[in-house]
Chains A and B, each alone.
Chain A
Amino acid sequence: MIQCKTSKAISGMGHSMKRKEDARFLQGKGHYVDDIKLPGMLYMDIVRSPYAYAKIKSINSEEAMKVPGVVAVVTGRDLEKYNLHWMPTLMSDTQMVLPTDTVMYQAQEVCAVIATSRYAARDGREAVRVEYEPMKPVIDPYKAMDANAPVLRKDKEGKKDNHIWNWKVGDKEKTEKVFENAEVVVKQHMHIPRIHVASIETCGCVADYDKVNNHLTMYMTTQAPHAIRTVIALVAGHVGLTEEKIRVVSPDIGGGFGGKVPVYPGYVIAIAVSFLVGKPVKWIEDRSENLQADSFARDYHITVEMAGTKAGKIQATRFKVLADHGYTDASANPSKFNTGLFSIATGSYDYDTSYMEADAVYTNKPPGGVAYRCSFRVTEAVHAIERITDRFAFEIGKDPAQLRMENFIKKEDFPWKSPTGWIYDSGDYHAGLKKAMDAIGYDELRKEQVEKRKKGELMGIGISTFTEIVGAGPSKDFDILGIKMFDSAEIRVHPTGKAIARFGTKSQGQGHETTYAQIIAEELGIPAENIQVEEGDTDTAPYGLGTYASRSTPTAGAAASIAARKLRDKARKIAAYLLEVSEDDLEWEPGKFSVKGAPEKSKTIQEIVFAAYTNHPQGMEAGFEATHYYDPPNLTFPSGAYICVVDIDKETGAIHVRRFVAIDDCGHIINPMIVQGQVHGGLTQGIAPAMYEELIYDEDGNILNGTFMDYLVPTAVESPHWETGHVVTPSPHHPIGAKGVGESPTVGSPPAIVNAIVDALSPYGITHMDIPVTPFKVWKALKDKGAI
Chain B
Amino acid sequence: MNKEITITVNGTQHTLEVEPRLLLVHLIREVLNLTGTHIGCDTTSCGACTILMDGKSIKSCTVLAVQADGKSIKTIEGVSAEGQLDSLQEGFHLNHGLHCGFCTPGMVMRATELLANNPNPTEEEIRWGISGNLCRCTGYNNIVKAIQYASAKNRGVPTASTEPEFV
Interface, chain A (partner B; CB < 8 A): 16, 18-19, 21-30, 32, 34-35, 37, 118-119, 197-202, 252-257, 286-288, 435, 439, 508-511, 661, 663, 672-674, 676-677, 679-685, 707-709, 713, 715-717, 719, 721-726
Contacts and interface: CB of A to CB of B under 8 A. Distances in A.
Given A16-B163, A723-B167, A200 B131 contact: no
18 contacts: A18-B94, A24-B101, A25-B101, A27-B77, A27-B83, A28-B34, A200-B48, A200-B136, A255-B137, A661-B167, A677-B137, A684-B140, A707-B42, A708-B43, A708-B45, A713-B134, A715-B134, A716-B140
A202 B40 contact: yes
Contacts of B66: none
Interface of B: 19, 21-22, 26, 29-30, 33-43, 45-46, 48, 75-77, 79-80, 82-83, 85, 89, 92-94, 96, 98-105, 108, 123, 126-128, 130-144, 163-164, 166-167
A286 B166 contact: no
A201 B135 CA distance: 10
B71 to A, nearest CB: 19
A205 to B, nearest CB: 16
Given A200-B102, A709-B45, 17 more contacts: A21-B101, A22-B93, A23-B93, A24-B101, A26-B89, A26-B104, A27-B77, A27-B80, A27-B83, A255-B99, A287-B42, A676-B166, A677-B96, A684-B139, A708-B134, A715-B133, A724-B166
Contacts of A439: 167
Nearest to A24: B101
Contacts of A681: 99, 136-139
A23 B36 CA distance: 12
B108 A26 contact: yes
B136 A713 contact: yes
B46 A726 contact: no
Given A18-B94, A34-B39, A715-B134, A724 B104 contact: no
Contact of B166 (A202, A510, A719, A726): A726
A510 to B, nearest CB: 7
A119 B19 contact: yes
Kindly list the 8 A-B residue pairs having the minimum CB-CB distance in the complex, ordered from nearest: A28-B36, A25-B101, A254-B102, A509-B100, A680-B139, A509-B99, A708-B45, A684-B139
Nearest to A672: B164
Nearest to B21: A119
Contacts of A674: 96
Contacts of B137: 255, 509, 677, 681
A456 B24 CA distance: 54
A531 to B, nearest CB: 19
Contacts of B42: 286-288, 707-708
Decide if the interface of chain B is mainly helix, strand, loop or mixed: loop
Given A439-B167, A511-B99, A673-B164, A26 B40 contact: no
A19 B93 contact: yes
A508 B99 CA distance: 8
Given A200-B135, A677-B138, A716 B144 contact: yes
A672 B143 contact: no
A559 B26 CA distance: 42
A37 B29 CA distance: 11
A287 B40 contact: yes
Nearest to A663: B167
A373 to B, nearest CB: 10
Contact of B139 (A25, A197, A254, A683): A683
A715 B131 contact: yes
A225 to B, nearest CB: 16
A35 B103 CA distance: 15
Contacts of B19: 119
A186 B96 CA distance: 44
B127 A717 contact: yes
A770 B8 CA distance: 52
Contacts of A724: 166-167
A35 B166 CA distance: 38
A219 to B, nearest CB: 14
A255 B42 CA distance: 18
A388 B136 CA distance: 29
B93 A200 contact: no
B96 A719 contact: no
Nearest to A719: B140
B38 to A, nearest CB: 7
A715 B100 CA distance: 17
A718 B91 CA distance: 23
A513 B83 CA distance: 19
Contact of B38 (A32, A509, A707): A32
A788 to B, nearest CB: 29
Contact of B77 (A28, A509, A673): A28
Contacts of A201: 38, 40, 100, 102
Given A26-B92, A27-B82, A724-B166, A680 B43 contact: no
A686 to B, nearest CB: 9
Contacts of A29: 36
A118 B167 CA distance: 50
Given A27-B76, A27-B80, A199-B100, A725 B166 contact: yes
B138 A22 contact: no
Contacts of A255: 99-100, 102, 136-137
Given A201-B40, A722-B139, A253 B93 contact: no
A22 B92 contact: yes
Given A22-B93, A673-B164, A677-B96, A30 B102 contact: yes
Nearest to B82: A27
A721 B123 contact: yes
Contact of B46 (A21, A27, A287): A287
B99 A200 contact: no
A435 to B, nearest CB: 8
A200 B46 contact: yes
B138 A680 contact: yes
Contacts of B39: 34
Contacts of A673: 96, 163-164
B58 to A, nearest CB: 17
Given A200-B48, A200-B102, A724-B166, A27 B136 contact: no
A216 B29 CA distance: 26
Which residue, B108, B140, B143, B163, has most C-beta atoms of chain A within 10 A?
A: B140
Contact of B43 (A32, A199, A707): A707
A24 B167 CA distance: 32
A35 B35 contact: yes
Nearest to A1: B166
Nearest to B42: A286
A685 to B, nearest CB: 7
Contacts of A722: 139, 141
Which residue, B35, B83, B93, has most C-beta atoms of chain A within 10 A?
A: B35
B163 A510 contact: no
Contacts of A21: 101
B86 to A, nearest CB: 9
Nearest to B41: A287
Contacts of B99: 255, 509-511, 677, 681
Given A118-B26, A726-B166, A721 B141 contact: yes
A685 B140 CA distance: 11
Contact of B89 (A27, A119, A672, A713): A27
B13 to A, nearest CB: 20
A673 B145 CA distance: 13
A30 B139 contact: no
A626 B143 CA distance: 39
Contacts of A257: 136
Nearest to A438: B167
A260 to B, nearest CB: 11
Contact of B98 (A25, A286, A713): A25
